[in-house]
Amino acid sequence: MRPRWHKVLRDLISSPTRTIMVVLSIAIGVFAFGAILATRTIITEQLHTSYLAINPSSATITTDPFNDDLIDAVRNVPGVAQAQGVRVVSARIATGPQQWQDTALYVLPDEGWRDIGIVKPWQGAWPPPKNALLIERASLGKTKAAVGDTVRIEIAGQDSREIPIAGLTYDLSLQPAVISGQVYAYVSFDTLEWLGGPRSYNQIQFVVSEGRADESHIQAVADAVGRLVERSGRTVINTDVPTPPLQHPLEILLPTILFILTSLGLLSLLISGFLIINTISAILTQQTRQIGIMKAIGARADQITGLYFGLSAGFGVLALLFAVPLGVLGSYGLTQFLASQFNLDIVNFRFPLPVLGLQVAAALIVPMATAALPIRAVASRPAREALSGETSAPPAGRDAPAGRLYEALHISRPTRLALRNTFRRRGRLARTLIALALGGGVFITVMTLRASLFTTLDESIASQRYDVEVQFARPYRDAQAEQAVLGVPGVTGAESLLRNMAFPVLADGTTAEGINLRAIPANTDMFAPRMAGGRWLLPADGRAVVLTSNYLVKAPQTRVGDEITLEINGDNYRWRVVGFIEELIPPVSPAWAYVTIDAYTQALGGVGRTDTLRVATAGHDAASHAAAARAMEQQLTDDGFAVRLIHTRTEDRNILAERFNVLTAVLSIMAMIIGTVGGLGLAGTMSINVLERTREIGVMRAIGASDEAVQQIVLSEGLIIGGIAWVISTIISVPMSLAMGYAFGMALLNTPLIWVYSLPAVAMWLGLVLLIASVASVLPARSASRLTVREVLAYE
Amino acid sequence: MTIEQLPGPTPVKAAAQGEALISLRDVVKQYETAAGAYTALRGINLTIDRGEFVAIVGKSGSGKSTLINMITGIDRSTSGEVRVAGENLGKLNEGKLAVWRGRTIGIIFQFFQLLPTLTVAENVMLPMDFCNIGTDRQRRERAAALLERMELSEEQANKLPTALSGGQQQRVAIARALANDPPLLVADEPTGNLDSRTADSIFHLFEELAAQGKTVVMVTHDNDLANRASRAVVVADGQIVDASAA
């Protein structure tokens, strides 16, 4: 090996602390970047591949009950490759005394296997045994039961029955339970009949023979199937063509989540870059004279440049030794975490080779690219300047005004020295501050995002002025139903409404995905929504509708004042859009529409009847809600009402909070990583500063400075840098959190989050940054104070 | 032991027949400082022939080191012409100057200036490495031979410079200066940091090298040593006040 490369190797090992610091900062950046990129690649590919493997339906048509004859006819429609009938029934499973969990009950064929949207056996019995049910594995937790347990299930309008959970299934065609909040259960037709359900299908699912990714082609085939259904005397209630086809319901959320994570990964890499500039600059400053000697003995500028590029690459290679295995571990953990949230199985986890290549490139290129400027600057410096040891350090400026300020503030001499030291190397200070401030900025942003998410959640829940919602299996007289619940102790009010499904009619006459319709009193006391545009319903409104803002995902051109046609119970009704409200509904979930109960009953009948009660209780905590729900259920059952579902505001909040916790946990981990890189930056800067001032420290000690005084100067400098970084973090976190809150809200909830700046996070970061600054300064300060005067004065 | 001349890609331009190895004409060097312009050299005219052993003497701040920097191309003149070994240094860019310097001049510093993270042998091999002279094996062999000539053992050759005494380090620096077998050796106070006995032995080495045909230019403020050179050039206030003292 050439002597010059020996020099590079020995420079790497001659100062282990410095090397470890730089290597760690690069490694953490490359690790975070690689782990996120690998997770992104694996999750995106496997979600898509796994989804395709279940043979997802090209379209689903909901219609009146039918049997296999209609399916046989659908199979003969040109363009249809496969078709099957599906029966899904709304049900609920008891999770405790008078506590119920909303459940979608699917019928599987006798042999278990479906052709479309394949449900796989996961554990226990297969196919669903007689008078037993299987539960989708990701929703089992919501039943509060285990395989082998017996639960009580009730389908709408029927008596409840005890039924064993005979096993688990794996169904990737459905939204994960953590998102939908529903339990998915599977039974045979025999079992459904035993539970009181019908022995017929209500949905047609089909797969087109070609153009599976062509939405317009699928729509054309769906129209043909729809015409066939109508010719059979049935009504097409809804036609659902997924947009875009062949995409898992959650794939729409992935880009935003992964974009934010990737941005954070890149940010940590960028912060590493600043630290590398600082370290390489410090090394160059320290070795200025050596560079002069090398030039004097014949080294060209490009050879010097190559040498220090080699050193930078050496840091990168060492960083790879940590970053690659950590990246594999990190991506494994993050992939498994996200996969569990998406109910996805990662088959054969393999770290993607292109990501490994990118990690190698990042670890080598980032240090070299960031160090290029300081290296070029020093390498091109004339030999005489380099030999004389001249550096580009700015000369000490006059600070008479500052001196007077220090006097006025009674700042001690060591602290004054620390203040002056802080600003001596302004470029280095700027890069350290950027690294530390970005780390802090991200930390405060993530905490603010968390606070905003939960505030938005609480506001949304608070807009529901009711505590419990009771859904009946069929309509009852409203006065009777209200009377029944008002007799329950603790109930302070009740309001009747009607619910239905509505299907927006498109320009071509087909219907879009169904939306939840609620007909409620215009002057309701039980709902105070946050308006996103337009206004709330007025008593005098005729056919007026207020939509949740996620309606705009499917129909972005809709504006306040537009008229839309909704198909309700098979007939079309025109409604004028008077407003949009913000509700916490994922974009993938159906939108909600609110109309006045007067306008609704005028159009569809049902005056004086209700199928849903919203009830206010005296207590608003979880225990009061649970107790009220139990008491109401008992009372209503005793009074002969068929209750379909009771859910409380606390339960609704918990379902949403569960989703948010997952997100904020991932973001918090990223914030910690970025904060660590920033902390390493400060530690690196402090050790470089002390190293460069070794001789100065020796002089101070020679003229009587105590160990404590030396340590105080170094520590003060670290704390000053930490304090300045904290101020900058606080300032930049405002626009960062606003932007992230908007992006997150729009992507996940289709509404910007209510921005709540997290002051506890600001205080927490101040504590953390001062702790980091202290730790980062104490070690170099102790080293500095331990050197003997002779050692430091001899320091070259 | 003989020290072989190694093949190299950039041969030193031969000076014209009868041309002095070093020729400075009306060389002026000014520095811009915070206190204003400072003239370090004021119209220097100097010629040094091949094989001469020239001592440059003068008080601190007289301009000796600046003069040396002009000859080695470490610094450029503000005006005037510097020709060394047939090259007009003012016409070479920094890159060419570095290669030329590596091949033509061996520089020895007062504080040895060995690279602390390289072994003694590697320090000697470094100029050959930068100037792409010889193979790795040839460089190793030449470094070993030079160090042996400087009376340094093989064991010492594999040590870091800090493990050697000042005199030994200066011998390593001389070995390094000889690595590319340059025709000219320039030493800036090479004995200034050594005790008198060691300084004498180092000076004796220079005398031997001069006797073998190397041109040696040495800055010193030691008049006794200067008197042992074939010629002494006395510098004062940036001017040569006596170029013929011996």
- Given a cut of 50, whether residue A159 has pLDDT beyond it is yes
In-domain check, residue A573: yes
The whole-number pLDDT of residue A621 equals 85
pLDDT tens, residue by residue, B83-105:
999 889 989 888 888 888 888 99
Q: Which residue has the higher pLDDT, A789 or A499?
A: A499
In-domain check, residue A592: yes
pLDDT band at A124 (very low <50, low <70, confident <90, very high): very high
- Positive or negative, the CA dihedral A210, A213, A215, A216 is negative
The whole-number pLDDT of residue A617 equals 92
**Mean pLDDT value of segment A738-750:** 80
Q: Which residues from A are below 8 Å from B107, CB to CB? A: 296-297
Residues A381 and A478 in one domain: no
- Given a cut of 70, whether residue A406 has pLDDT beyond it is no
- Given a cut of 90, whether residue A317 has pLDDT beyond it is yes
**Mean pLDDT value of segment A510-534:** 85
- Residue A120 β-bridge partners: A170
pLDDT tens, residue by residue, A215-246:
889 989 998 999 999 899 887 777 888 878 88
In-domain check, residue A64: no
Quote the domain boundaries for residue A317.
Answer: 1-56+272-392
Nearest to B24 by CA among B73, B82, B92, B87: B82
**Under an 8 A CB cutoff, do B95 and A382 touch?**
no
Token output for A542: 């005729």
Nearest to B74 among A14, A290, A387 (CB): A387
The whole-number pLDDT of residue A598 equals 92
Q: Which residues from A are below 8 Å from B136, CB to CB? A: 1-2
If you write DSSP's letter for every residue of A11-27 in order, what string do you get? HHHHSHHHHHHHHHHHH
Among A364, A392, A420, residue at a domain's last position: A392
**Chains A, B: CB contacts under 8 A, how many?**
87
Query: Are residues A268 and A24 in contact, defined by beta-carbon separation less than 8 angstroms?
Result: no
pLDDT band at A2 (very low <50, low <70, confident <90, very high): confident
The whole-number pLDDT of residue A394 equals 44
Q: Which of A370-374, A401-405, A696-700 has the highest mean pLDDT?
A: A370-374
pLDDT tens, residue by residue, A613-626:
999 999 888 888 88
pLDDT band at A346 (very low <50, low <70, confident <90, very high): confident
**Under an 8 A CB cutoff, do A4 and B103 touch?**
no
In-domain check, residue A708: no
| Residue B136 neighbours by CB under 8 Å, 6+ apart | A1, A2
Which segment of A541-550, A682-691, B109-118 scores lowest on mean pLDDT?
A682-691
Residues A486 and A608 in one domain: yes
CA–CA gap between residue A736 and residue A740 (Å, rounded): 6
The whole-number pLDDT of residue A666 equals 75
pLDDT band at B1 (very low <50, low <70, confident <90, very high): very low
- Given a cut of 60, whether residue A176 has pLDDT beyond it is yes
**Mean pLDDT value of segment A756-783:** 84
For chain B, which residues make up each domain, given as ranges?
Answer: 51-76+94-245
Q: Which residues from A are below 8 Å from B129, CB to CB? A: 2-4
pLDDT band at A762 (very low <50, low <70, confident <90, very high): very high
Nearest to B115 among A1, A293, A302 (CB): A293
Q: Which residues from A are below 8 Å from B113, CB to CB? A: 289, 293
**How far is A321 from chain B, CA to nearest CA, in Å?**
24
- Given a cut of 90, whether residue A774 has pLDDT beyond it is no
The whole-number pLDDT of residue B11 equals 47
Q: Which residues from B are below 8 Å from A289, CB to CB? A: 113
Residues 7-26 of chain A with CB under 8 A from chain B are 7, 10-11, 14
Nearest to B75 among A297, A303, A384 (CB): A384
**Under an 8 A CB cutoff, do B129 and A295 touch?**
no
Report the domain count for chain A: 2
pLDDT band at B8 (very low <50, low <70, confident <90, very high): very low
Mean pLDDT (chain A) is 84
pLDDT band at A796 (very low <50, low <70, confident <90, very high): very low
pLDDT tens, residue by residue, B113-152:
888 888 999 999 999 988 888 888 999 999 999 999 888 9
- Given a cut of 60, whether residue A67 has pLDDT beyond it is yes
**Under an 8 A CB cutoff, do A294 and B180 touch?**
no
**How far is A38 from chain B, CA to nearest CA, in Å?**
40
The whole-number pLDDT of residue A414 equals 61
**Under an 8 A CB cutoff, do B72 and A2 touch?**
no
User: Measured between CB atoms, does A296 come within 8 Å of chain B?
Assistant: yes
**Mean pLDDT value of segment B35-62:** 89
pLDDT band at A759 (very low <50, low <70, confident <90, very high): very high
Among A572, A598, A618, residue at a domain's last position: A618
User: Interface of chain B against chain A, CB under 8 Å?
Assistant: 34, 69, 72-76, 94-95, 98-99, 101-103, 107, 109, 113, 115-119, 122-123, 125-127, 129-131, 136, 176-177, 179-180
**Under an 8 A CB cutoff, do A3 and B122 touch?**
yes
pLDDT tens, residue by residue, B67-87:
999 999 888 899 999 999 988
Class of domain B51-76+94-245: alpha beta
The whole-number pLDDT of residue A402 equals 58
pLDDT band at A342 (very low <50, low <70, confident <90, very high): confident
In-domain check, residue A195: no
Residues 297-356 of chain A with CB under 8 A from chain B are 297-303
- Given a cut of 90, whether residue A182 has pLDDT beyond it is no
pLDDT band at A790 (very low <50, low <70, confident <90, very high): low
**Mean pLDDT value of segment A68-88:** 93
**Mean pLDDT value of segment B194-208:** 83
The whole-number pLDDT of residue A409 equals 61
- Given a cut of 50, whether residue A172 has pLDDT beyond it is yes
The whole-number pLDDT of residue B133 equals 87
The whole-number pLDDT of residue A340 equals 85
**Mean pLDDT value of segment A413-441:** 74
In-domain check, residue A580: yes
Among A570, A593, A618, residue at a domain's last position: A618
**Mean pLDDT value of segment A576-604:** 86
- Given a cut of 50, whether residue A356 has pLDDT beyond it is yes
**Mean pLDDT value of segment A308-324:** 91
In-domain check, residue A63: no
**Under an 8 A CB cutoff, do A299 and B125 touch?**
no
**Mean pLDDT value of segment B55-69:** 89
The whole-number pLDDT of residue B16 equals 53
If you write DSSP's letter for every residue of A673-729 in order, what string do you get? HHHHHHHHHHHHHHHHHHHHTHHHHHHHHHTT--HHHHHHHHHHHHHHHHHHHHHHH
Instruction: Write a three-state SS string for chain B.
Output: CCCCCCCCCCCCCCCCCCCCCEEEEEEEEEEEECCEEEEEEEEEEEEECCCCEEEEECCCCCCHHHHHHHHHCCCCCCEEEEEECCEEHHHCCHHHHHHHHHHHEEEECCCCCCCCCCCHHHHHHHHHHHCCCCCHHHHHHHHHHHHHHCCCCHHHHCCCHHHCCHHHHHHHHHHHHHCCCCCEEEEECCCCCCCHHHHHHHHHHHHHHHHCCCEEEEEECCHHHHHHCCEEEEEECCEEEEEEEC
pLDDT band at A370 (very low <50, low <70, confident <90, very high): confident
Q: Which residue has the higher pLDDT, A635 or B192?
A: A635
How many Cβ atoms from other residues are within 10 Å of residue A660's Cβ? 20
pTM value is 0.73
The whole-number pLDDT of residue B67 equals 92
**How far is CA A510 from its chain centroid?**
34
**Mean pLDDT value of segment A423-427:** 71
Nearest to B127 among A10, A298, A384 (CB): A298
- Given a cut of 90, whether residue A477 has pLDDT beyond it is yes
Which segment of A246-250, A425-429, A576-580 scores lowest on mean pLDDT?
A425-429
In-domain check, residue A749: no
Query: Are residues A29 and A236 in contact, defined by beta-carbon separation less than 8 angstroms?
Result: no
- Given a cut of 60, whether residue A395 has pLDDT beyond it is no
If you write DSSP's letter for every residue of A237-306 in order, what string do you get? EEEE--SSTT--GGGGTHHHHHHHHHHHHHHHHHHHHHHHHHHHHHHHHHTHHHHHHHHHTT--HHHHHH
